[in-house]
Each structure stands twice: as structure tokens, then as C-alpha cells.
């Protein structure tokens, strides 16, 4: 069923997602702080709005795909969006933010009859382009069911619980991703230092317990020094910081997350790798070992 969708945020992830929605036949209006990034979609059938409030006025579903929680809050509640939404609209926040922020946004919107789902994604730009994103959704089951046509072109959506649960699942996902990138970086360096063939190494592990998308995809990037951003290191660090904030609230310790967080902080800060792909953690490892990187 065709929907009238507003997409706020046309960045690395938002752009391919917009194209998937257009290809599925949805009526799409887009807004981005840098209008030039949104304008490229006009030739593909999207309407380009001057303001986020203008973008949402006629929408049945509003997708936000923004950098972090304070930006989502500012766009929703300080730019006229909330006032422009009519009762019955569903806001689907596909940004990665803190669960407490998602619950707060849901509560505030509910007071004016607007539904809310927190629906962060995993799969990077390749998943966004292919429509194979893993979408972790928190919120009401009825609202989730009504948004199935919106999710379908983007990937596989699974409701994991009430409001905030999607964001908590995404943080757990990012814990696994960050730790796995660290492990793949160390394994890659170990094999490389021993004179092993890295292509053959990954092929040998294919199908075994240690195999993963991160091993195959990010391991290839580490081998070929390809750190063009698909998932930025700065975003990975933000997610790891949020994981540790949640852990602190729960009164639990996550030593592996803490260790890999400190390594990403070093990559983003002293090594100036904020805008590199998160697989560039390999460069931090090379620097730590006084080996030559990019």
C-alpha cells in the first residue's frame, strides 16, 4: 500500500533509504539541513521541502534518520515539526539514540495523538542500498503493523518490545559490532605479521564459528586500506558511549565494550579518524604497534 512519507535526514544512510522508498512507489518528501544533499532526489521523484515542518504536513509516516539524540529532539520539537503533525501520524525514528530519549519523544508525541516507533537499523550503506537492513523496532504492536509497507522496502523489521527497546537492541548490536571489529583487526594484523595470505585466511574461516560479515567485509577493507566512510568511526564511538551510559544506569560493567570504546576514542581523537569508516580501528592498532598505516 502506497504511503505518504516524509524523510528527515538524507545522509549516508538516508539517501539510499529514500531511493528504496521511491522505487517502492511511495510518495516521498525529503528534507536535509544541507538542501543540496536532498536536491539530488528531486530528479528521482521526491519532493524537496525547505523546512522539516513543511516536509511533514501531509505525511502519514515521518522517518527521522539523524546523527544523534539531541539532533532528533531539536528537529522534532524545536523546528515546528511536532506542531505540523496531525493526529494519527506515525513518527519512525531510525536514528541511533539513547533508549531514554526514544521513550521521552514517544511520550511527548503521544500527548498530541501522534504515534512513535524507535526503529534503528544495522547493515550500513550496503544494506540500505540493497534493502536488507536489520530494523529493530520498539513501540506499540498496532503501530508497528501499520508501518509494514514503510519498512518492507528497507529491510527486515522485527518488533523487539515497547518504546525504547529498539534503541536498546541497536546498542547491543553496536557492542557486538565494535568488539568484532577490534577482534578482526587483531586477527588481521596477526596473520599479516606472520606472512599469511589474508584472502586465503578469510576463505579458510568462511562457514566456521569465527566467520562473520565483519570478518569478510571489514577484513577486506583493512587489507586493502579502504576506509571510506560507510559507518563512521565517530558514530561508532557515540554508540559505544551510549552503551556505557545505559550500563551505568543498570549497575553493570561491560569490560570489552569499555576497552574497545577507548580504542575508538583514540582513533577519533588523537589519530583524527572521526570521518573514516569504523573498520579504520585497524589503523589505531597499527599505530599502537608502531606499524605503517595509511
Which residues are the active-site residues?
170
Name the residue among 149, 138, 135, 96 with its Cα closest to residue 115: 138
CA distances from 37 to 15, 53, 268 (A): 8, 18, 25
**Vertex 260, ends 259 and 266: CA angle to 5°?**
100
Which residue is associated with the grid cell 583487526? 185
Q: Assign 118 to helix, strand or coil.
A: strand
Q: Assign 190 to helix, strand or coil.
A: helix
- Cα dihedral 238/239/241/243 (nearest 10): 170
Q: How far apart are CA 19 and CA 28, in angstroms?
A: 9
Q: How far apart are CA 153 and CA 170, in angstroms?
A: 20
Q: What is the DSSP letter of 94?
A: -
**H helices present in the chain, as ranges:** 14-23, 35-39, 52-56, 69-78, 81-84, 99-110, 124-130, 141-146, 148-151, 165-193, 198-205, 213, 219-224, 233-250, 255-268, 281-288
Amino acid at each position: 500500500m502506497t504511503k505518504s512519507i516524509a524523510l528527515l535526514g538524507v545522509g549516508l544512510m538516508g539517501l539510499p533509504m529514500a531511493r528504496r522508498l521511491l522505487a517502492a512507489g511511495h510518495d516521498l518528501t525529503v528534507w536535509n539541513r544541507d538542501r543540496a544533499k536532498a536536491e539530488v532526489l528531486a530528479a528521482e521523484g521526491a519532493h524537496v521541502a525547505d523546512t522539516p515542518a513543511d516536509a511533514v504536513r501531509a505525511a502519514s509516516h515521518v522517518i527521522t534518520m539523524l546523527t544523534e539524540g539531541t539532533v532528533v529532539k531539536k528537529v522534532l520539537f524545536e523546528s515546528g515539526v511536532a506542531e505540523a503533525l496531525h493526529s494519527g501520524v506515525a513518527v519512525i525514528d531510525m536514528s541511533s539514540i539513547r533508549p531514554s530519549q526514544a521513550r521521552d519523544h514517544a511520550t511527548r508525541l503521544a500527548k498530541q495523538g501522534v504515534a512513535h516507533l524507535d526503529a534503528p537499523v544495522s547493515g550500513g550503506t550496503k544494506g540500505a542500498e540493497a534493502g536488507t537492513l536489520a530494523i529493530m523496532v520498539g513501540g506499540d504492536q498496532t503501530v508497528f503493523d501499520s508501518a509494514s509497507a514503510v519498512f518492507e522496502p528497507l529491510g527486515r523489521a522485527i518488533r523487539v518490545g515497547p518504546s525504547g527497546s529498539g534503541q536498546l537492541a541497536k546498542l547491543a548490536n553496536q557492542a557486538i559490532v565494535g568488539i568484532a571489529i577490534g577482534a578482526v583487526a587483531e586477527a588481521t594484523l596477526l596473520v599479516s605479521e606472520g606472512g599469511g595470505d589474508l584472502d586465503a585466511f578469510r576463505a579458510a574461516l568462511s562457514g566456521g564459528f569465527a566467520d562473520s560479515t565483519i570478518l569478510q567485509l571489514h577484513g577486506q577493507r583493512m587489507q586493502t586500506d579502504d576506509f571510506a566512510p560507510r559507518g563512521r568511526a565517530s558514530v561508532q564511538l557515540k554508540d559505544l558511549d551510549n552503551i556505557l551510559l545505559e550500563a551505568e544506569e543498570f549497575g553493570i560493567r561491560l569490560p570489552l565494550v569499555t576497552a574497545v570504546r577507548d580504542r575508538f576514542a583514540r582513533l577519533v581523537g588523537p589519530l583524527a579518524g572521526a570521518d573514516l569508516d569504523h573498520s579504520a580501528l585497524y589503523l589505531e592498532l597499527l599505530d599502537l604497534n608502531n606499524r605503517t598505516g595509511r
